[in-house]
């Protein structure tokens, strides 16, 4: 049984400009110990979808209008705030995007690292401190005992993200949600942090949902990938399937817009033209149509559903046949 199953999740935000359909009937699952990526541009609804798993979407203005989030057989949307609180940090933990602002500036690292353990695991002060030292070692922070007494401003961005990872691992959760965990970091640090997360999740058998706009991250670390566009999942498959054989024009566009070592040097990058659509005014057709070079007038009539492309690979596009033959030609 899948550890996490998101089924037909719909999430709206009411704003002065109208209702924003941030997440539109998305479904995906995560097996125990697996790394699943959710890829998309800013504003594609990937963060909102992740926050709704933990029940952290502010309501109002947010509102979950459809679907179910089943975790270990239990629908998280049915739980009371208190039951949900016991899952947060204990069974599902989250790493956020901004390590520089994710730690409370007035509390010591030790305090912030141990408070969840003391609450969820009922550890005493000394036991929690011992475990904190162990965790700091695990995420590669030297001199942990001294560092625990320091404050966030004594730590660099990369170090803070290591602290965040230690914090997230502290209660041995079954699932970690990582929302752009390396976007705010230097490129050289990014790889370190991601490798660390991969090693630790593998060693501890923790499943991870990694939210990113960086396809390089996906290629290297994810088992399976969901590509999101305008609040919908437009393509899903294993990382290999998606890389070797992208089916949706948006995925193809994304892959063409990042530099790759397996292409000739000097070959130009092709950005996707246009901008993401206004989520308050989505038409009935495919949301990607205005930016799509394969679009036909029929694409504006209705939104395509996900269709099999082979294996576990699915994509939501009306012109899959044409694209496939076009690539072959």
Partner 1 sequence: MSAYLIRRLLGAVVVMWAVATLVFFMLRMVPGDPFLAMVFDTGDPAAADDMRRAFGLDKPMYVQYLKYLQQVLQGNFGNSIYGSGIPVSQIIAEAFPRTMSLTLLGFFMALIIAIPAGLISALKKHTAIDHGVTVVAFLGLSMPDFWLAILLIIVFAAQLHWLPAIGYVALDQGFWPWFSHLIMPAIAIGTPFAAIIARMIRSSMLEVLKADYVQVARSKGLKHSYLIFMHAMPNALIPVITVMGIALALLMAGAVVVENVFAIKGLGRVLIQGILNRDYPVVQGAILVVSVIFVLANILVDMMYTVIDPRIRYQ
Q: Which is nearer to partner 1, 109 or 230 (CB)?
A: 109
Q: How would DSSP label each residue in 258-318?
A: S--TTS-TTPPP-PPPS-PPPTTS--SS-TTGGG-TT--GGGGTSPPPPEEEETTEEE--T
Q: Which is nearer to partner 1, 66 or 107 (CB)?
A: 107
C-alpha closest to that of 162 among 245, 233, 102? 102
Residue 76 DSSP symbol = G
Q: Using CB under 8 A, which of 19, 27, 65, 85 touches partner 1? A: 85
Q: Using CB under 8 A, which of 6, 103, 207, 247 touches partner 1? A: 103
State the nearest-atom distance from the C-beta of 84 to partner 1, in Å.
8
Token pair, residue 95, equals 């790493």
| Region 117-136 residues binding partner 1, contact defined as CB under 8 A | 119-120
CA-to-CA dists, residue 310 to 238, 288, 306, 320, 324, angstroms: 11, 22, 12, 12, 12
Q: Using CB under 8 A, which of 19, 64, 151, 204 touches partner 1? A: 151
Q: Which is nearer to partner 1, 106 or 329 (CB)?
A: 106
C-alpha span between 110 and 92 (Å, rounded): 21
Q: Using CB under 8 A, which of 98, 172, 223, 301 touches partner 1? A: 98
C-alpha span between 97 and 115 (Å, rounded): 21
Q: Which helix (H) or strand (E) holds 100?
A: none
C-alpha span between 97 and 42 (Å, rounded): 12
Q: Which is nearer to partner 1, 119 or 240 (CB)?
A: 119
C-alpha closest to that of 39 among 245, 205, 151, 179? 179
Instruction: Establish if 94 lies at the interface with partner 1 (CB under 8 A).
Output: yes
Give the binding range for partner 1 (CB under 8 A) out of 24-32, 92-100, 227-235, 291-299.
92-100
Instruction: Establish if 60 lies at the interface with partner 1 (CB under 8 A).
Output: no
Residue 88 DSSP symbol = B
C-alpha closest to that of 165 among 125, 216, 206, 127? 206
Q: Using CB under 8 A, which of 167, 189, 209, 286 touches partner 1? A: 167
Q: Which is nearer to partner 1, 177 or 247 (CB)?
A: 177
Instruction: Establish if 79 lies at the interface with partner 1 (CB under 8 A).
Output: no
Give the binding range for partner 1 (CB under 8 A) out of 32-40, 99-107, 245-253, 288-296.
99-107
Q: What does the binding site for partner 1 look like in residue numbers (CB under 8 A)?
A: 54, 56, 85-90, 93-94, 96, 98, 101-107, 115-116, 119-120, 151, 153, 164, 167
């Amino acid at each position: 049984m899948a550890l996490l199953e998101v089924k037909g999740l719909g999430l709206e935000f009411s704003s002065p400009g109208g209702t924003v359909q941030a997440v539109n009937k998305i479904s995906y699952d995560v097996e125990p110990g697996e790394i699943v990526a959710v890829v998309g541009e800013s504003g594609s609804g990937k963060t909102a979808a992740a926050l709704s798993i933990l029940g952290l979407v502010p309501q109002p203005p947010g509102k979950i209008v459809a679907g179910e989030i089943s975790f270990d057989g239990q629908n998280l949307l049915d739980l009371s705030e208190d039951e949900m609180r016991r899952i947060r940090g204990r069974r599902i933990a989250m790493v956020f995007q901004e390590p520089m602002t994710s730690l409370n500036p007035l509390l010591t690292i030790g305090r912030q690292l141990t408070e969840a353990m003391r609450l969820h695991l009922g550890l005493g002060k000394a036991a929690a401190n011992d475990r904190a030292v162990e965790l700091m070692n695990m995420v590669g922070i030297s001199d942990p005992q001294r560092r625990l007494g320091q404050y966030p401003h004594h730590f660099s961005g990369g170090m803070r993200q290591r602290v965040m990872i230690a914090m997230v691992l502290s209660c041995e959760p079954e699932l970690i949600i990582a929302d752009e965990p390396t976007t705010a970091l230097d490129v050289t640090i990014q790889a370190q942090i991601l490798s660390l997360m991969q090693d630790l999740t593998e060693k501890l058998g923790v499943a991870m949902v990694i939210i990113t706009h960086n396809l390089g991250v996906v290629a290297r670390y994810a088992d399976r990938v969901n590509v999101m566009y305008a609040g919908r999942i437009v393509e899903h498959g294993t990382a290999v399937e998606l890389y070797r054989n992208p089916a949706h024009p948006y995925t193809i566009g994304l892959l063409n817009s990042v530099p790759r070592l397996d292409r000739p040097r000097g070959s130009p990058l092709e950005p996707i033209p246009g901008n993401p659509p206004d989520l308050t005014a989505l038409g009935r057709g495919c949301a990607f149509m205005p930016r799509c070079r394969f679009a036909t007038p029929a694409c504006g009539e209705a939104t395509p559903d996900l269709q099999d492309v082979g294996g576990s690979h699915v994509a939501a596009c009306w012109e899959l046949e044409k694209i496939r033959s076009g690539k072959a030609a």
